[in-house]
Amino acid sequence: MSEKEHEETRSLKSVVVAVVRKVFLLLITPEVRWKACIVFFLWGATSIIYYGVSLNSYNLSVSISVLTALIMLLEEGQCWYLC
């Protein structure tokens, strides 16, 4: 094995170890676990809302500016809830 391959393997191992530590932190700490559940739920809810708005954008009969403001309000609501 060349030195370059050895370095890439070492780098990959360090990345895997870092990911495992973060997952372990998620499972151990109740506060982080609770926030992860909230983010998971809000991500799904926001995705469904975006999907609905994009499918129904032709039926809203509003300008693109109003539609953009509506989507911005959805984003800001999620950010305020998480902070």
Domains: count for the chain: 1
The string of pLDDT tens digits covering residues 27-52 is 788 888 888 888 888 888 878 877 77
| Structural domain for 58, as ranges | 3-82
Q: What is the DSSP string of 24-82?
A: HHHHH-HHHHHHHHHHHHHHHHHHHHHHHHHHTTTTS---HHHHHHHHHHHHHHHHHHH
Model confidence, pTM:
0.47
Give residue 3's pLDDT. Answer: 58
